[in-house]
Amino acid sequence: MSKVYAFLANGMEEVECLTVVDLLRRGNVEVTMVSITGTKEVVGSHNIKIVADACIEDIKIDDADLLFLPGGMPGTLNLKNHKGLADVLKKQVELGKKVSAMCAAPSVLGNLNLLNGKRATCYPGFEKELLGADYVTDGVVKDGNVITARGMGYAIDLGITLIGVLEGEEMAKKVKDSIFA
């Protein structure tokens, strides 16, 4: 079973986060929602309160197969400004392990120079922050160990793609078929 850490910040886009987390769990992926706020309660960009499974200070990051960043504002800025998260993301990429971000959040990866030479997408207006990336407008872009998505409208596509990457295409098809029945 693959393991994913989804990082939650105040001001995140709730649909992006919860859709991807829900789909991954349907695909038999172990997902831990991790708050970077210092408390397990996180308030999304539309004032929806979510209780995370853990705080960033309490997790052992080395066992993660993939780290996921939902977008939203000011959630993306809060993710970008968290030094502990920056260190974790850099280490994950240095180890050749997978990272994923959607909407505005690929800018976090870009600002950390983790997209160099990679194809990536993001929410329109954040293209200049994908430093070193080859920006494309596709809904979901997978390039090596980096998977990015354009925005909320691609949350299901991203979730299904991540299942395929982590648990195989057969599981991805099974989950996709079950939600579009």
Which pLDDT tens digit goes with each residue over 116-170? 999 999 999 999 999 999 999 999 999 999 999 999 999 999 999 999 999 999 9
Domain around 111 = 3-170
Query: If you search the block for the tokens 């919860």, which residue do you land on?
Result: 18
State residue 35 phi and psi, 5-degree precision: -85, 140
Count other C-beta atoms under 10 Å from residue 102's C-beta: 33
Q: Is residue 181 part of a domain?
A: no
Residue 176 lies in a domain: no
* Residue 8 CB contacts under 8 Å (≥ 6 apart), including other chains: 17, 33, 34, 35, 36, 37, 42, 50, 52, 70, 75
pLDDT tens digits, residue range 41-52?
999 999 999 999
Q: What is the CATH number of the domain that holds 15?
A: 3.40.50.880
Mean pLDDT in the chain?
97
Q: Please count the structural domains in the chain.
A: 1
Q: Is residue 23 part of a domain?
A: yes
180 inside domain = no
Q: Residue for token digits 């996709």?
A: 176
Residue 123 within a domain:
yes
Q: What is the pLDDT of residues 5-17, one digit of tens each?
A: 999 999 999 999 9
Which two tokens mark 173?
């098809």
**pTM for this structure?**
0.97
Say if 179 falls within a structural domain: no
Q: Is the pLDDT of residue 61 over 90?
A: no
Q: Let me know if residue 178 belongs to a domain.
A: no
Is residue 80 in some structural domain? yes
At 62 the pLDDT is 86
